[in-house]
Chains A and B, each alone.
Chain A
């Protein structure tokens, strides 16, 4: 029986036509709507460019001071603040200042985009079970599909540049904040919600006065993870035209420059550690009310 000997498959010609059909129709779609979509993202592009210029054109001591202030008010830790200053001094001394600023800019914009898109989606998921069953598999796909695969349609649609890079970063980095917003809201104590309901709270009073504040530690854990994942996309994003620390890493891979690769890689690690520690300390402070006074 040939059915057992060989897997039943599509004819070679049909398969080729099938794939070609998909490619063709996507290309048509790109031709028709590509420009419109590109314009849609223009504000994002301007913002990113503006932020990058701001970081790069401001004198480095001012940027450094701003970073130190942000770190201090986020973490309330002098140790961490001095650690950050030292790390950035070394980065600058090793001639990675500009790339680091470019990376900081794209990470900041990606984080803002992820938060402002992800939190509302998370709220929607927490509110409706149907939305949850619909969105969860999409998040699963976004997190597991190899990033190179979704780079293809993004590049076909928007070409090479900052916006497609930003989009790629966001697609990869947004799932945690969506998931943890949803989880955080669903975990809010039923008794507290009932009390709020019993006092006649409206939907928005419940959401803003009870659910979001009580979900905040979880939402914050989501923001933290989103930033981490965005940072880990820096190298891949640089393949499609995003400036920053990823570019020298790519160059180091293709030319076998060990020192260059390691140095820039470590700079990414330093950024990650800083973001992580600061946001965790900040998240902990948000939970202060749950601890009893000593």
Chain B
């Protein structure tokens, strides 16, 4: 159990004048619409249970209004829950005093915001060192540390610019550097890249992934964009009306969508890019072909197999054969959901 970094347990959040009185109704399964129309309360989170392992990138996904921002703000207690508990390294942050909570925010969990949340009256270097100065570290030391982070997000040379003088993508690099500078193990990112153009967004995703390779932070990443979720997430949880309706790896969700809402979510996705050959692996001796690693995605495997002219490929892991995959199975896998959706939505 010790590798669980953040555990959210039976979390409920109800917005309104008297949330406590509504909790029974919510536990008995009243719908979000009913609660709003008949009792004037908004159901923010409904019995959320999520465990995030250390050094994992957990994506939380859902449409607008599904409660993503509400959920992530519980993890550093910017929002107080109506019921439930949030354990970080086994400690319930809800029982922390105000002073403990401030320390927790200063050193354990930092946050990146959709609208950047930079201090407009401070220069880039001052923004990046904001968390450090809040901790009481002296300016010179804070600046030295911050300079490294400015460099690692690729902003060298802009130390003395004001946020308003930077493009959106650069501003979010400042936001990211600011969050990293405090050395917190947990990074909370609320639609951090949603305000950026597609190309810049993809850049930022790469920046995040390459930093994560070195830093091994525990990252909670909110998005409403499935492509982003699939590219970044080790694990994905899908929220609807405040409840987690499915949680698992990208492959798992694509192969076994829990319901129509999820099916709808994933219908536009290019599965060949997400599914790995291991997900369609069998062990037929009739299949011959080149050797490929088990983590190769189907898109790449198809290319390798068709170039070799064989009827499939041999899957190896750690240098040993663990199974085979046939051309026909791979094609079936990426075409499977055409049963209930238009065939032209499989490939975009």
The 12 sampled A-B contact pairs (Cβ below 8 Å) are: A191-B116, A192-B118, A196-B130, A198-B105, A198-B110, A198-B111, A199-B105, A199-B182, A200-B107, A202-B102, A214-B121, A291-B164
Task: Say how far A153's CB is from chain B's closest CB, in angstroms.
Answer: 43
Q: Cβ of A199 and Cβ of B110 under 8 Å apart?
A: yes
* CA–CA, A289 and B161, complex, Å: 9
With a CB–CB cut-off of 8 A, which chain B residues contact A201? 102, 134
Interface string of A177-217 (1 = CB under 8 A from B): 00000000000010110111111111001000110011000
Residue B165 is within 8 A (CB to CB) of chain A in the complex: yes
Contact across chains for B120 and A198 when beta carbons are under 8 A apart? no
With beta carbons under 8 angstroms apart, the residue of A194, A202, A205, A213 that contacts B113 is: A194
B117 touches A290 (CB 8 A): no
From A191, A198, A199, name the one whose CB has the most chain B CB atoms within 10 angstroms.
Answer: A199
Residues of B within 8 A of A214 (CB): 119-121
Question: What residues on A are CB-neighbors of B101 within 8 Å?
Answer: 200
Chain A residues proximal to chain B, CB less than 8 Å? 189, 191-192, 194-202, 205, 209-210, 213-214, 289-293
Partner of A290 from the list B104, B131, B164 (CB cut-off 8 Å) is B164
0/1 string, B131-167, CB within 8 A of A gives 1: 1001100000000000000000000000001101100
| Cβ 8 A contact of B134, one of A194, A200, A213, A291 | A200
B interface, CB within 8 angstroms of A: 76, 78, 101-107, 110-111, 113, 115-122, 130-131, 134-135, 161-162, 164-165, 178, 182, 188
Q: From residue B294, how far is it (CB to closest CB) to chain A in Å?
A: 40
A289 touches B106 (CB 8 A): no
Q: Are B78 and A210 in contact (CB under 8 A)?
A: no
A151 to chain B, nearest CB (A): 42
Give complex CA distance A290, B163 in Å.
8
B residues near A192, Cβ cutoff 8 Å: 117-120
A18 CB to closest chain B CB, in angstroms?
45
Considering the chains assembled together, what is the distance between the CA atoms of A199 and B119 in angstroms? 12
A289/B102 in contact, CB under 8 A? no
B78 and A194 within 8 A (CB): yes
A201 CA to B111 CA, complexed, in Å: 13
Chain A residues with CB below 8 A from B120, complex form: 189, 192, 214, 289-290
Contact partners of A195 in chain B: CB under 8 A: 111, 113, 117-119
A189: chain B residues within 8 A (beta carbon): 120
Known: A195-B111, A201-B134. A292 touches B164 (CB 8 A): yes
Assuming the contacts A194-B78, A289-B162, A292-B164, asked whether A200 and B117 have C-beta atoms less than 8 A apart, the reply is no
Which chain A residues lie closer than 8 Å to B131 at the CB level? Answer: 199-200
